[in-house]
Amino acid sequence: MSPSGGDGWSWDQHPQRHPGLQPFFTLAKELYPGNYRPNYAHYFLRLLHDKGLLLRLYTQNIDGLERVAGIPPDRLVEAHGTFATASCTVCRRNFPGEDFRGDVMADRVPRCPVCTGVVKPDIVFFGEELPQRFFLHVADFPMADLLFVIGTSLEVEPFASLAGAVRGSVPRVLINRDLVGPFAWRQRHNDVAQLGDVVSGVQALVELLGWSQELQTLIQKEKEKLDAKFK
């Protein structure tokens, strides 16, 4: 769905008549940060950051759980957008996404306080351009010395092509239910695949690294913070 699709419809031309508007905000209500908590894999990536090992985390997720896990926004490329910010579809003003959480949770379509246009979270729809931050990959991937690919189908372009953007000498580690993308049809000699449940795969890696206790301590500390914030 695109907010400016080929039928000429826009978010503010009779939004009550457009069947996609309310379902979008119903989905937004379900996915809004605070409804779900980061899992073991999110905190593994946070630990990589804490150890100074995370150059960048590219994600297709829009649930914001990477941020909730404590990974700073400057280390993130949220290729399909984020709920952390929102924009008016008419005057293009930007707002903190949290400003409109109350409206979304109350099943109200958020409106711009300046022009009354529809305000939507900065989530990328099919047909919309990816955020400019996505193009950091041009500089990031040639610098990488290890690539983790975790929990993805590698089907949606241009994101899917990122797995092939690192140098041929760079090991690529897939932790996933299935072989996907180049791991399925163009493997490299230094590729590693851990197939099955993603969290179990990450746990096995953490044990090999000897980080299990350190990660459990981090998870407990962050869980207590979230419990205090959302209780």
Q: Are 132 and 92 in contact (CB under 8 A)?
A: no
Amino acid at site 126: F
C-alpha 1/C-alpha 20 separation (Å) is 8
25 CB-near residues (< 8 Å, 6+ apart): 104, 107, 109, 110
Q: Are 83 and 121 in contact (CB under 8 A)?
A: yes
C-alpha 89/C-alpha 117 separation (Å) is 6
DSSP alpha helix (H) spans, 136-211: 137-143, 182-185, 198-209
Task: Identify the active-site residue in 14, 18, 49, 80.
Answer: 80
Helix axes 40-50, 198-209, angle to 10 degrees: 40
For residue 142, the SS3 value is helix
C-alpha 215/C-alpha 127 separation (Å) is 39
Amino acid at site 37: R
Count of H-run helices and E-run strands, the chain: 8, 8
CA angle, 58 as apex, 201 and 211 as ends, to 5°? 40
The tokens describing 35, both together, are 């409804």
Catalytic: 80?
yes
Q: Which residues are catalytic?
A: 80
